Each structure stands twice: as C-alpha cells, then as structure tokens.
Structure 1
Amino acid sequence: MDLKLKEYIESCLNKQLQTESSYNWKQVEGGSINKTYQLISNTHLFFVKINSTQVFENGFKEEVLGLQFLKNNTALVPEIIIEGIFENTAFLVLEWIETGKETTKFWENFAAQLVSLHQQKSDKFGLAASNFMGQLPQNNSFFDNFSDFYVENRLKPQVKLAFDSKKIETKHVNQFEGLYKKISEIFPKEKPSAVHGDLWHGNFMCSKNGNAVFIDPAAYFGHREADIAMTQLFGGFSEKFYKAYHEMYPLKPCFNLRNNFYHLYPLLVHLNIFGDSYLESIENIITEF
C-alpha cells in the first residue's frame, strides 16, 4: 500500500479523533473488489477499504449513503469514521466489528432485525440517489410499482451491458423482452420496503454480542422478497433465520415459485463482472418463466 496514502489516512484519523496516535496496518479479507485492511492504534481498531477512482468515480460516497439509509431505517451498521479521496484512490474507514458465533439466537435476532428494516415503508419504489451493485452502477429512479422498477432499473441495464459486451446473444435479449411483458403477473402487491439490496452471506457480520451488522449495501425502497431471495442465492442462510422471519412477517403464498425470478438481476450482475459461468443459470430461469 502506498506510503503517502497511509500517512494521509492516518492524518485524517488523528484529526477526526483529536489524537496523535501511531497505527499498524494489516491486510485482511474483505471481498473481491476492494483492498481491505485492519488499522490498529493504541486505543482503536478500524476497518479500511480502498479502491481506484476509476472504479468508483465518487469514491465510497454511495456506500456511505447506503449505510446511513440502513441505519436511518433501524438496521445495525458499522460506525462510519471517515471517507475520502487521496489523489486517485478512494478510501473508507469504518468501525472494526469483532465477530461472534452464529448461534440459534443470532439467526433469530437477524430475522427480527431484517423484519424491522422491511417494515420501514415508502410510497414509491426507488431512492433519490443511484448507487452500486458490486462495482456496477445501479439506477434507483422512482416507480409506482415494483414490476416497472425491476424491468427499467434492474434487468434492462444489465441485459444491455451483457449484450454490448457479447456475453449474451440476440436470442437471450428476445427472451428477456418476452419476459418483461409477463412481469406484472409475478410480483405480489406490497408497499415498498427499505431493503439491503445485496444481502448474501458475505454482506453481514455476526457481532460479538450476537447481533447482525449489515455491510456493503445496495440499498433502496424495493420489494422485501428481493432481499429474502438474495439470501438464498449463494448457499443460503440457516433455516432458523427463515423460520423466524416467516413467523414475524410472513411472505405471500408461492414465494418459492418467484424466488428464482428475483435471482435474475444479481446473476446478470455477476455475468457482467465475472463472466460466462453464470449464463447457464440465467438461461434456466428464463426458460422456467
């Protein structure tokens, strides 16, 4: 890591905390997109992520807005310490979360926290600001119904990106066009809920006191089923989580028949970021519907 960048972040931290601490840096795992570090002082532990402004032109401003959105809508998130840009590098410093064990009580707490988030409602689907899903821009223009929101803001931009980059063919585009005409029949009618937007197993932490801490959001007001479907895409959560959630805030009947349809968007995102290995799953879902 660049020495000047380290010194700049340390200087910003000391100014923010009104201290003259020295720091130790330790690289840690933190996802496939950013470089991540544990930053250690005599009195504090921090989590730091950095990336190029070529990837995130505005730095981590959208992530900060997402974390604030979740916090304002009852979710637990890491404390935001500082966010900024130095030369061509964006950085974000967050509170370090000490992890605990994912016990039965944890999964029940997690379900209750997600229910609380989903019970925060809005009149329209969307958000006043755009953000990111992974490293791809995510438009959140407002719509009165989730079907139009999902087609215009989620599926169409990813389908166009995949076609332009030759990851899908004209036949796939035509299949999606046919699918768009049926979408209004698929989603049950509910008021927009505050959602995390990218809630897979890598985007929460079990804190030492047994609560779920939400990280890396792609947040907006959407259909709460999209969050539940996302939890099931890459391995799923504990059955204790789903049982507790459904007891507190039951989903409409036949969710399991709709589940894969919500998966189309994150699978298209993964196709556009990581490549062809996700195409077969997309084709299977399109054929199913």
Structure 2
Amino acid sequence: MSISGLNELSQGLDEGLRFSSLNEALKTISNSAVSDSGECSSRDLHGGCINRALILSHSSLPPLVYKYQSRAEPSLFRSEALGLLALKAAAREAGCSSLRIPEVYGVMDTGILIAYIEPGRPSPEQTLEFGAELATLHSLDLYSLFSGSHSQEGGYGFFRDNYIGLSPQSNGAEADWVDFFRTRRLGSQLELAGRAGYADAALEKRMKQLMNRLGDFLPRRPKASMLHGDLWSGNYLFSSRGEGVLIDPAVYAGHNEADLAMTELFGGFPSSFYRGYREVLPVDREYHTRRDLYNLYHMLNHLNLFGGGYRSSVLGILSSLGF
C-alpha cells in the first residue's frame, strides 16, 4: 500500500461510497429494495460520547450501524471511513487473521454506514490473541508500506489530516518522530487549548519546556507503525466469534508505543491483552515514561473537547515528567 494505494482508497471512497443522504445510500446498498430509512427497523446503539448511532435492520440489507451528527464537519466521517479502509488494508498486509475492521458501506457529510458486528464476551485466550494481533499490525513497517513520495517527505503522519474525537488532527509528514510529536501532536493541542482559554501562561510555559526537551524522552526514528490513534477501551470490542474489532480510528503512522500507551488510559485493557502484545513486540523499561508523555496528547485533547476538568490530569503528567 503505497501513497498511490492510499490515494486509490480515497478515490474509491469518493466514487463508490459517497452519498448525499442516508436514503440514497440505503437504496444503493439494497439495489433499490429500500428507498427510505423509515422502512428499516432501528434501535439505539449506546456507548459513544460524541456521536449518536443506530442499528438498522431490513431483510434486503446487511446489519448496519449508522453513526451520525447533524453538525459534523463535512470531512469528519470521510476521515473515519478512510481510517477504517487504511486499517483494513494494513491488517491484511500484516497477515492479521483474527483482527477485524468493520466494512464501510457509505459516507455522508453528516454520517457513516458501517457493518454491525454482533458483540460477544471474549475468553482470556481471545484477549491474548487480540493483543498479539495488534502487535502484528504494529510490526508492519510503514517506511516500506508507504513507499515513494511519503518516504521522501517523512515516515510519520498520514496522507490526510483527520480527527481525534471532534478535534482536528494534523498529520503532515515528518522524517523525525520527535519533531512530529512536538509539532503535530503536543503543539497543535496546546494551540487549541490557548484559543479556548484552557492554557494560561503558566501551563504554556511548562508545556514549551517539555516540548523543547522531547528528544530526551522519545526516539527520533522508531519504526513507523500503522496506529489506530485513539485506542481506548471504548474503541474496540469483541465479536460473537471472539475476534478483536477496532472502531472509531484516528489513524497515522507513528511509534507503536503511542497506541499501547492509550490502551492504559480510562481503565485499561485486560491483562491477557498485554501479555499477548508483549509476546510479539516486547517493550523496554523506558516505556512507562514514554507512556505518560504519549498520553499527555490525549489528556490535552480531552481538555479541549470536554473542558477544564482535565486540566489537573495535564498538570499531573507534566509534574511526573519533571516540568
């Protein structure tokens, strides 16, 4: 999957999966058997904190999830669809046999249609396999996968900007991971926090002191892995067949530990997941420091999305890192 391959994914999305309305999408998917969403049975799908979602059912349709938001940026759901398509392509290239990415059926400016996957309760063996499969995905080297112009521009980022939650996520390519994380991750969130009034002079000073010393904490050229980008416990599930399923991505190429770090936020994943992951990709003793630094990005994002209640978490991470 080269940059040209990613552009083909994007072109295929625009040519075959873009619709002006939910009704148009359903009519196309059902070969005109369904012309109005009112013909489908629907029920709320709970769990998201930003968008609403419905499970749609009809005898002429596969089981679908319709996730929507009337005030969404026009590129929000298109970015999610591209992320799902890129994850699916990378998982296939990596040889992941039990890691599942939902099929994309359609994208509108205010919503996305994806396959509904019946959830199940995993065994410890299946959560261990999920960890191993994520590590297998992370083992795929995107320096070679994103060949050509991307490698010349830089190994970290993505060919399009996207979103993390509702926040814009800058993915401009950088050859140096420290530069990428300083500018595209911490710097962009700090700028948003300043505009929103969440970052006063004292917080901005501490953040900039850390950002100036990022090279003391982070490797400059780690392997560029395909990252989910927003991998907390609400963005994965297990299918009724025991497959680990990734949803709601904010994809980019980066250090695998950035994904692993976020799995430890907000309650973490099952312990067997981490055993499975480390069997494929061991982590060194410095990981725990880098974990907190990588999660600073997500705490800043939560500060910007949900308000000042996350300020103490940001300050706590800065203090733990000595700033």
TM-score normalized by the length of structure 1: 0.92
Q: Measure, in 1, the Cα distance between the counterparts of 2:237 and 2:177.
A: 29
Alignment: residue pair count: 278
Deviations 1:128-179 (A, max 9, x none): 1000000010000111121111110011111111122111210111111111
Partner SS for 1:160: helix
The alignment partner of 1:252 has SS state of: coil
Letter in structure 2 aligned against 1:286: L
Distance in 1 (CA, whole Å) between partners of 2:137 and 2:250 is 14
Q: C-alpha distance in 2, partners of 1:17/1:184?
A: 53
Partner of 1:82: 106
Shift of 1:11: 4.2
Whole-Å Cα distance in 2 between the matches of residues 148 and 59 of structure 1?
26
- The residue aligned with 2:256 is 224
Contact in 2 for aligned 1:67/1:77 (Cα 8 Å)? yes
Q: How high is the TM-score relative to the length of structure 2?
A: 0.82
Report the Cα offset of residue 256 of structure 1: 1.5
2:55 is matched with which residue? 38
1:235 to 256, 262, 267: 267
Matched, 1:51 2:82: no
CA contact (8 A) 1:163 1:170 kept: no
State the identity as a percent: 32
- Once the 2 structures are TM-superposed, how far is the Cα of residue 287 of structure 1 from its aligned partner? 1.6
Which consecutive residues of structure 1, in runs of 5 or more, have no partner in the other structure? Answer: 1-7
2:152 — aligned with what?
none
Please say if residues 105 and 210 of structure 1, whose CA atoms lie closer than 8 Å, have aligned partners that are also in contact.
no
Does the 8 Å CA contact 2:76/2:163 hold for their aligned counterparts?
Answer: no
Q: 1:210 aligns with which of 242, 246, 267?
A: 242
Q: SS of 2:100's equivalent?
A: coil
Moved over 6 A (4+): none
Q: CA separation in 2, counterparts of 1:59 and 1:194? A: 20
* Structure 2: distance between partners of 1:99 and 1:33: 21
User: Letter of the aligned partner of 1:176 in structure 2?
Assistant: M
Shift of 1:76: 2.1
Maintained 8 Å contact 2:189/2:301: yes
Distance in 2 between residues matched to 1:278 and 1:148, nearest whole Å: 25
Q: 1:18 corresponds to which residue?
A: 31
- Answer yes or no: is the 8 Å Cα contact 2:44–2:55 preserved in 1: yes
Aligned-residue CA RMSD in angstroms?
1.6
Q: Does 2:143 correspond to 1:125?
A: no
Query: SS of 2:289's equivalent?
Result: helix
What's the offset of the Cα at 1:254? 2.1
User: What SS does the corresponding residue of 1:102 show, helix, strand or coil?
Assistant: coil
Q: Secondary structure at the match of 1:73?
A: helix
Query: 2:284 & 2:270 partners in 1: Cα distance?
Result: 20
Cα offsets for 1:13-60 (capped at 9, x unmatched)? 1322314143112122141111110101125321001113x4322251
Secondary structure of the equivalent of 2:184? helix
- 1:64-75 mapped onto 2 (5 Å cutoff): 64-74=81-91
Following superposition, the deviation at residue 252 of structure 1 comes to 2.6
- In the alignment, the residues of structure 1 paired with residue 24 and residue 74 of structure 2 have an alpha-carbon distance, to the nearest angstrom, of 23
Which one-letter code corresponds to 1:57 in the other structure? P
Aligned to 1:98: 118
- Structure 2 residue 165 is the aligned partner of structure 1 residue 134: yes
CA distance in 1, matches of 2:215, 2:172: 18
